[in-house]
Amino acid sequence: MPFDPETLRFDANGLMPAIAQDAASGEVLMMAWMSADAIRRTLETGRVTYWSRSRATLWVKGESSGHVQELVEMRIDCDRDCLLVLVNQHGPACHTNRRSCFFTALRGGREVEIMAPEG
């Protein structure tokens, strides 16, 4: 049976978390939200597309910055309410120009920046 995004379990807003992971390095790059439409567009175009909650619109990652994510593979978790997208990340994934959005670590009870902006 071909995959149908409607068989997934979306939250009350029709969204689910999608974790982007660098397909080559395994680094976790970011987490954003996908609607059924965002999932369809991602699979059809091969360009990872999220739902922007702040702008309330589909958001082709990197559309303005050029920091696109080419889809390598989409995976679904056991509860069918979370996605893992393996990607080829062009440029930094974070809007702060860092490779990953997870650049703050808790070490010794304090927040430490572990990654500098690129370029």
Cα–Cα distance between 56 and 40 in angstroms, integer?
Answer: 17
First to last CA, the chain: 46
- In the complex, the smallest distance separating the C-beta of residue 58 from its own copies, rounded to whole angstroms, is 19
One of 10, 15, 19, 68 touching its own copies (CB under 8 A): 19
Contact status: 6 vs its own copies (CB under 8 A): no
Binding mask 37-66 for its own copies (x = CB under 8 A): ------x-----------------------
Residue with tokens 């997208």: 85
Nearest to 56 by CA among 13, 106, 110: 13
Contact status: 8 vs its own copies (CB under 8 A): no
CB closer to its own copies out of 63 and 114: 114
- What lies within 8 Å, CB to CB, of 116 at 6+ separation is 98
Binding mask 78-117 for its own copies (x = CB under 8 A): xx--x-x---------xxx-x--xxxxxxx-xxx--x---
Cα–Cα distance between 77 and 66 in angstroms, integer?
Answer: 29
